[in-house]
A and B are shown apart, each in its own frame.
Chain A
Amino acid sequence: MAAPDILPPKGVRPPIIGPGQTFGTITDRIAGIVLTKHTPVFWVLVVAFAAALFGMLQTAVAYLLFKGTGIWGITIPIGWGFAIVNFVWWIGIGHAGTLISAILLLFKQTWRTSINRFAEAMTIFAVMQAGLFPLIHTGRPWLAAYWLFPIPNTMGIWPQFRSPLIWDVFAVSTYFTVSFLFWGIGLIPDFATLRDSAKTLVVRRIYGMLAMGWRGSAKHWNRYETAYMLLAGLATPLVLSVHSVVSLDFAVSVVPGWHTTFFPPYFVAGAIYSGFAMVLMLAIPFRYLYGMQDFITLRHLQNSAKVMLATGMIVAYAYGLEMFMGWYSQDKYELAMVNNRLHGPYSFYYYMLILCNILIPQSLWLNSVRSTPWKLFLVAIVVNTGMWLERFVIVVMSLQRDFIPSSWGMYWFTKWDMMIFIGTMGFFTLLFFIFIRLMPAISIFEMRTLIPQAKVKE
């Protein structure tokens, strides 16, 4: 365990790496988490719990495939419920990773180095959760699994390219592929480090294969840097495009509350908002449990909090704009939508959303909140709750009352909805903890560039 966080004097920002670290300590500390034979008790407990939830997810999905989507609370007119809410939520969470890795890399924000690896892992695991939902929410997933892809066939039947759901398929699968490659390439030098530090033959062989013959030659480094920068360049627009495309699922429709042109930026901001909240939700326990306070310092937490504050304000602006445009349009359906948000049967969730996403995060203006990990952790939880509610409000409350009053309806989730939602959280946690145990959760070689000795005069 490292020393507890010490707040630097006023006006001085906390360092991005704790004092006294050397190349050796960095390598040992980070690789030690993976190469140790001693698996921490908390790890076993968390993984056991997460695996149980994953089992619940499998049960619920199996039953879903057996019976049909009717086991959920969806109905006519609310044809989309928890599945789509969860999909958008998980995709949103998946945003911070690539933003941190790619965009901050291009902007040469060196503080990203300590958190980019697990943020990328978070992205990949979150997109895996997200990707589950569009498939299983269909009535016939065994057909949707391949009819949604443009696979040439003798019938000459293609997907319908005008549908945003098809754009979704491309956007999400591209995003997953690029994120995965980016993550994988970044891992290669570290796998080599693990290979070289491994104490047993089997471990050495496994990491050796994963390292793909990395020897650390200048040529390797040169090619690595080129590839990494190229992928960063590729991934950057994806950060913006994925959630823009997801938002088009709604914006393209005619449903009041969905049919809005500002959805793409609004959704991207919201995604980064929730993504950073998730980064904090993972980083704070991680640095505490593994004593990584020297690598993930208060500086990282503060910076993440600032990004949250900024994106949170954009989201707040979007909420305001939604209301304003409803009024400004003077369209009876838009007005009714606004009215339904404020006074409808689900208005409680709307007010909770305002509380979670706008009011409580205002505490991030305070340095004391930004610099106190447990407070940040609580705010992050609140923000992610709020972001889930936001998607609930958008999906359910808009569909609930649209044009024809006779067809207005209500939505109640069922236990199967909840089992699948919680199950994906378990699946995510399971994947994340397995990742921490088997792969360097912080980029070793990049961390080494952060210590003063690494600075080379050019």
Chain B
Amino acid sequence: MSNKSDSSPNLISANQIKPASLELEAVRKKLAEAKGPKYWRTLEELSDQKAFGELLEREFPRQASEWVDPVSRRGFLKLAGASMALAGLAGCTRQPLEQILPYVRQPEQLVPGKPIFYATAMPFHGHALPLLVETHEFRPTKIEGNPLHAASMGATDLFAQASILNLYDPDRSTTLTHMGELRPWGEFAMALNSEVRARKALQGAGLRFLTGAVSSPAFGWQMKTVQQSFPQSKWHRWDPVNRDNMRAGSKLAFGGYYDPIYKFENAAVVVSLDADFLSGAWFPGFVRYARDFMRGRKLENGDQMNRLYVAESSPSTTGAKADHRLVLRPSEVENIARGLAAKLGVAVTAGHLSGDQQKWIDALAADLMEHKGKCLVVPGEFQSPAVHALTHAINGALGNIGQTVSYIDPVEVDPVEHGQSIRELIADMNAGKVETLIIIGGNPAYNTPVDLEFVKALDKVKLRIQFSSYKNETTDHMHWHVPETHYLEAWSDARSYDGTATIIQPMIMPLYDGKSAHEALSAFTDQLGTSSHELVQTYWKSQHPTVDFETWWRTAVHDGFVKDSASPARQVTPKIAALPALPAADPGAIEVSFRPDPTIYDGAFINNAWLQETPKPLSRNTWDNVAMISPAMAKAWGLYLLNDENDHQSDAQRILEVEFQGRKVEVPYWPQPGHPDNAITLFLGYGQEKTGRVGAGTGYDAYKVRPSTAQYIGAGAIITVTNRFWDIAVTQGHFSMEEREPVKVANLEEFIKNKNFAHEHPDEEPKDGGDRQESLYPNFKTKENFYQKYAWGMSIDLNSCVGCQACAVACQAENNISVVGKEQVQRGREMQWIRIDSYYEGDPANPSVYFQPVPCMQCENAPCEPVCPVGATVHSTEGLNDMVYNRCVGTRYCSNNCPYKVRRFNFFLFADYDTPSLKLGRNPDVTVRSRGVMEKCTYCIQRITAARIASEKEDRDVRDGEIKTACQQVCPTEAIVFGDINNPDSRVRKIKDGPRRYDLLAELNTRPRTTYVAAVRNPNPKLASGTERA
């Protein structure tokens, strides 16, 4: 493997960073020449060698941060680890005294080797996801949802799962710096204190704070206090993925800011107007909503199921689950909303609607009228305020308010429209009104609207301080950089989408002496040095003056939420008084959509290797963002097309040059089935110039063309096809089912007529627990002889799976799965144990999309077992294919013989054996695999074993539901169910006995323990277009 980084222009050669001119002689000479007492603080100062200081500080880190090649990066990690070890030697300093002592007093509850779970929450851009964090010896190792909390019910999303890797990220900011040079905290505190005194004298004039959306009540209280003592100061907000449209829409309809709360469980018909409520964390409440929505599609009791209409521009997983999907250009959504509203009696008029669109609206309106009060229209976060206002009006007209949707006061503290807020800040900066700028979190130099030129304005600010957990683009323009704590490192609080407050308790001491946002503000309230814990407690004490605070606090912290703190619904009535005129649409203009990236969000997770390697749900590409266009456009432009004859594993995709409002960016295109014509979707977050080793060199930067006037949607892009190519790493090369029907699907009508549609010969097919005999040989693996106690099995409901990828990341976290890097993914060597296959069916302009999670099938007649020459994969009496890593010699025969291709091989030493911080985060119950070893899904055997031991101690059987695999636990839609199929009352057995259960590749007689529940779609019989099956 050649070392590609040789050609990297950024790489600093050894000569460059070794000035070597700090000669002892020269220093002596200098001292001799000096007249009078000359004090020097550093050798650098003495020798005037700036570079020397730089050398001292960042000899390795600099090289590290600019290392681009994904494979050599691994090699580099080893080097960095070694250098760290050697740095201690070379420094000739005394090693810190370390004493190994047993606990004098054993910490309460701690049993070495046994995990303890603590409740906390992950703040996420103005709302929070309640969590339960698994800690081993006080090291957080795995994140779960808080099952007691209504916003999680035990599930999480992929960002929460992966956030633990950010905690242990070796590329996190570890040092406090001033102009790039190391400084102690005390020096910063002195500088800050003097600044605070100076500003106080001026009533806070010139003092500005910039944060993202905040839901922390304690932070809000602190900020209020700050604004009382600094009345002229101002608090600005900027999140690149913000809820401006929702806020503006709410103002249009209600005259004030309200957050809509949806009750999908009450809705029989759901209409999404570009709303991505099944896609992920940027739709606040996603975890709960996905669960509620999918509960209506389980078909467990009777034949009732809800219906989903999606009118969307950029294809999303929500659209993939739709029963009817209408493909629209981004600007057309508003017109559809108007048409629908008009049809339902709201006083608006629509522009021109095509015949198909009119038909769609008519059928939809009729369906909605039939389900008054039991339906729901959801507006997309990225759609115009008018769409939001219209949906509020539609929901009002349909009597849904109070039934399927309610409105609460905003969860965000002091809600503002971020676009307006950042514009004001930059205008003030340009006008010289800003003298001190405190930036907490975020990366405004990278992600603020490009037309506002934040960086240029920044130079006019006299003192610039950043609290951030990464040294990023913004850091380069800062005077002070203070490492910020991870949410698992500091006390705080936050509110979930429904307003329920959670006390965020830390799991671990700050790894790098970081300071929390609360501590950042404490300097302005004369509390510098007060801990976050005290600050948060002080706030909550003030809120509960009458109760026994200690008990209250302990309960709240233990449960992970403050009881009954959900915001009450406000009685509001939407009024459409003055809707802005429908923007004139030019059907020929190419429209641009800016979307957060499905796995790295707005760029905050760019250095998270798990998320980088998690395939984007629809395109299955990793390590880059692509620009989606429709297949028809790709064809019209003569670009290489996604087709069935060519597998896509490692394609060079042609680069398009997108020019939008005079700015250009180069993007690799991706022909996405279901994407509207004359539109292009750009994903935010990639292409960062200053990031860690993982994020460096990945993707393009869509912020370069994102203006403040068109944050999400804009028209008039000019696209030029270049002759350059961009290597894309995809994990799935083939999107057609090839008439093999790995996903079985029927319409609701077909299902009612023929419950056994998933089976060709239902009578001949075996059921679990019965005598399954399809072989000439006697079956020794019967319940009597073999699976005597437990027989573990899993069921995956394809109707419920929304392809959100949370299970894949959860599995990665739980099972210490390695990350392999872009080049290895291109070679098809990704390691994730559970993959979600996406299949497209039908017209590429608007196809049906299916998701199928595929973990190990744990076959009873496993093809992998007899071919292993050393017996490294063997069958257990509980029905698992156990992998014996110690015994594996790596012939890969098992993988060849696996019809499901679920086995993963360590072609290199993929596991990172050297980086110390990553070792902390590993699950101690799971082996870290070495090179040359096969691995695969184990049904989380460590969890099974833990539960079995617990049950044996109590002399009972393992209870149904006691064991949850990592993928099952995280799944927001409860698509995955695991349990004992020997137990006729277990949930999994009941699902498996249902008619829709089917085995993947049943014809091979592998008798898989993982089975599927066939998908059922519920199209409107009156509407014979959209995504129905042919």
Q: What residues of chain A have their CB less than 8 Å away from a CB belonging to chain B?
A: 67-71, 73-80, 137-141, 143-144, 147-148, 157-160, 162-166, 169, 249, 252-255, 332-333, 336, 343, 345, 399, 402-410
> Which residue of B is nearest A409, CB measured?
B828
Given A160-B868, A343-B645, 15 additional A-B pairs, CB 8 A:
A68-B908, A70-B908, A76-B828, A76-B901, A78-B828, A139-B892, A140-B933, A253-B863, A345-B647, A403-B899, A405-B736, A406-B735, A406-B838, A406-B839, A409-B828
Partner of A138, one of B827, B863, B889, B1000: B889
> Which residue of B is nearest A250, CB measured?
B896
Partner of B647, one of A73, A169, A409: A409
Q: Are A405 and B742 within 8 A (Cβ)?
A: yes
> Which residue of A is nearest B930, CB measured?
A140
Q: Are A80 and B896 within 8 A (Cβ)?
A: yes
Number of A-B contacts (CB under 8 A): 177
Chain A at the B interface: SS class:
loop
CB within 8 Å for A76 and B903 given contacts A159-B869, A159-B870: yes
A selection of 12 A-B contacts at a CB cut-off of 8 Å is A70-B824, A70-B908, A76-B901, A80-B896, A138-B889, A139-B907, A139-B934, A147-B887, A345-B646, A405-B737, A406-B735, A406-B854
Partner of A163, one of B649, B854, B893: B893
- Tell me if B1004 is interfacial: C-beta within 8 Å of chain A: yes
Q: Are B650 and A410 within 8 A (Cβ)?
A: yes
- Tell me if B141 is interfacial: C-beta within 8 Å of chain A: no
CB within 8 Å for A166 and B892 given contacts A345-B647, A406-B734, A407-B901: no
In whole angstroms, what is the CA distance A113 to B1 when docked? 48
CB within 8 Å for A252 and B867 given contacts A76-B903, A408-B734: yes
In whole angstroms, what is the CA distance A313 to B967 when docked? 54
Q: Are B899 and A254 within 8 A (Cβ)?
A: yes
B732-780 residues at the A interface, CB under 8 angstroms: 732-740, 742
CB within 8 Å for A147 and B905 given contacts A403-B740, A409-B647, A410-B650: no
In whole angstroms, what is the CA distance A5 to B448 when docked? 86
Which residues of the partner chain B approach A402 to less than 8 Å between Cβ atoms?
A: 899, 901
Q: What residues of chain B have their CB less than 8 Å away from a CB belonging to chain A?
A: 1, 645-647, 649-650, 732-740, 742, 824, 827-829, 835, 837-839, 852, 854, 863, 866-871, 887-893, 895-897, 899-901, 903-909, 931-934, 1000-1001, 1004
Which residues of the partner chain A approach B892 to less than 8 Å between Cβ atoms?
A: 74, 79-80, 139
CB within 8 Å for A406 and B837 given contacts A77-B901, A159-B869, A160-B870: yes
Q: Are A253 and B870 within 8 A (Cβ)?
A: no
Q: Are A345 and B645 within 8 A (Cβ)?
A: yes
Q: Are B869 and A165 within 8 A (Cβ)?
A: yes
Which residues of the partner chain B approach A405 to less than 8 Å between Cβ atoms?
A: 734, 736-738, 740, 742, 839
In whole angstroms, what is the CA distance A211 to B897 when docked? 49
Interface centre among A159, A405, A408 (most CB of B within 10 A): A405
Interface centre among A69, A137, A163, A407 (most CB of B within 10 A): A407
Which residues of the partner chain A approach B647 to less than 8 Å between Cβ atoms?
A: 345, 408-410
CB within 8 Å for A403 and B1001 given contacts A143-B889, A253-B897: yes
CB of B71, distance to nearest CB on chain A (Å): 9
Which residues of the partner chain A approach B903 to less than 8 Å between Cβ atoms?
A: 76
Partner of A70, one of B645, B734, B907: B907
Which residues of the partner chain B approach A343 to less than 8 Å between Cβ atoms?
A: 645
In whole angstroms, what is the CA distance A244 to B933 when docked? 29
In whole angstroms, what is the CA distance A333 to B649 when docked? 21
Which residues of the partner chain B approach A255 to less than 8 Å between Cβ atoms?
A: 896-897
Q: Are B907 and A253 within 8 A (Cβ)?
A: no
Q: Are A139 and B895 within 8 A (Cβ)?
A: no
Which residues of the partner chain B approach A162 to less than 8 Å between Cβ atoms?
A: 866-867
Q: Are B869 and A399 within 8 A (Cβ)?
A: no
> Which residue of A is nearest B871, CB measured?
A160
Which residues of the partner chain A approach B900 to less than 8 Å between Cβ atoms?
A: 403-404, 407
> Which residue of B is nearest A75, CB measured?
B828
Which residues of the partner chain B approach A159 to less than 8 Å between Cβ atoms?
A: 869-871
Which residues of the partner chain B approach A404 to less than 8 Å between Cβ atoms?
A: 740, 742, 837, 854, 899-901, 1000-1001
Which residues of the partner chain B approach A144 to less than 8 Å between Cβ atoms?
A: 870, 889-891
Which residues of the partner chain A approach B854 to less than 8 Å between Cβ atoms?
A: 404, 406
Partner of A137, one of B650, B867, B891: B891
CB of A369, distance to nearest CB on chain B (Å): 39
> Which residue of B is nearest A145, CB measured?
B889
Which residues of the partner chain A approach B888 to less than 8 Å between Cβ atoms?
A: 139-140
> Which residue of A is nearest B889, CB measured?
A144
> Which residue of A is nearest B886, CB measured?
A143
In whole angstroms, what is the CA distance A166 to B867 when docked? 9
Q: Are B742 and A69 within 8 A (Cβ)?
A: no
Q: Are A164 and B828 within 8 A (Cβ)?
A: no
In whole angstroms, what is the CA distance A144 to B838 when docked? 37
CB of B908, distance to nearest CB on chain A (Å): 4
Which residues of the partner chain A approach B897 to less than 8 Å between Cβ atoms?
A: 253-255
In whole angstroms, what is the CA distance A79 to B900 when docked? 14
CB of A348, distance to nearest CB on chain B (Å): 13
Q: Are A70 and B829 within 8 A (Cβ)?
A: yes
In whole angstroms, what is the CA distance A75 to B733 when docked? 14
Q: Are B931 and A139 within 8 A (Cβ)?
A: yes
Q: Are A336 and B738 within 8 A (Cβ)?
A: yes
Which residues of the partner chain A approach B1004 to less than 8 Å between Cβ atoms?
A: 254, 403
In whole angstroms, what is the CA distance A144 to B868 when docked? 12
Which residues of the partner chain B approach A79 to less than 8 Å between Cβ atoms?
A: 892-893, 895-896, 905
Q: Are B887 and A253 within 8 A (Cβ)?
A: no
In whole angstroms, what is the CA distance A334 to B899 when docked? 13
Which residues of the partner chain A approach B905 to less than 8 Å between Cβ atoms?
A: 76, 79, 139
Which residues of the partner chain A approach B828 to less than 8 Å between Cβ atoms?
A: 75-78, 409-410
> Which residue of A is nearest B903, CB measured?
A76
Which residues of the partner chain A approach B740 to less than 8 Å between Cβ atoms?
A: 332-333, 403-405
Q: 7 smallest A-B Cβ distances: which pairs? A: A139-B890, A139-B932, A70-B907, A79-B892, A406-B837, A407-B901, A165-B869
Q: Are A408 and B867 within 8 A (Cβ)?
A: no
> Which residue of B is nearest A162, CB measured?
B866
Which residues of the partner chain B approach A403 to less than 8 Å between Cβ atoms?
A: 740, 899-901, 1001, 1004
Which residues of the partner chain B approach A345 to less than 8 Å between Cβ atoms?
A: 645-647
CB of A415, distance to nearest CB on chain B (Å): 9
In whole angstroms, what is the CA distance A403 to B854 when docked? 13
CB of A317, distance to nearest CB on chain B (Å): 27
> Which residue of A is nearest B1006, CB measured?
A254
CB of B395, distance to nearest CB on chain A (Å): 39
Interface centre among B733, B837, B897 (most CB of A within 10 A): B897
CB within 8 Å for A74 and B907 given contacts A147-B889, A406-B839: yes
Partner of B869, one of A73, A163, A406: A163
Which residues of the partner chain B approach A336 to less than 8 Å between Cβ atoms?
A: 738
CB of B319, distance to nearest CB on chain A (Å): 20
In whole angstroms, what is the CA distance A163 to B931 when docked? 23
Which residues of the partner chain A approach B739 to less than 8 Å between Cβ atoms?
A: 332
In whole angstroms, what is the CA distance A150 to B745 when docked? 50
In whole angstroms, what is the CA distance A141 to B901 when docked? 23
Q: Are B909 and A68 within 8 A (Cβ)?
A: yes
Which residues of the partner chain B approach A253 to less than 8 Å between Cβ atoms?
A: 863, 867, 893, 896-897
CB of B932, distance to nearest CB on chain A (Å): 2
CB within 8 Å for A67 and B908 given contacts A140-B888, A163-B866, A403-B899: yes
Q: Are A75 and B906 within 8 A (Cβ)?
A: no
Which residues of the partner chain A approach B735 to less than 8 Å between Cβ atoms?
A: 406
Which residues of the partner chain A approach B909 to less than 8 Å between Cβ atoms?
A: 68
Which residues of the partner chain B approach A164 to less than 8 Å between Cβ atoms?
A: 867
Partner of A67, one of B1, B737, B838, B868: B1
Which residues of the partner chain A approach B733 to less than 8 Å between Cβ atoms?
A: 408-410
Q: Are B896 and A399 within 8 A (Cβ)?
A: yes
Which residues of the partner chain B approach A75 to less than 8 Å between Cβ atoms?
A: 827-829, 907
In whole angstroms, what is the CA distance A157 to B869 when docked? 12
Q: Are A140 and B889 within 8 A (Cβ)?
A: yes
Which residues of the partner chain A approach B869 to less than 8 Å between Cβ atoms?
A: 148, 159-160, 163, 165-166, 169
Which residues of the partner chain B approach A410 to less than 8 Å between Cβ atoms?
A: 647, 649-650, 733, 828
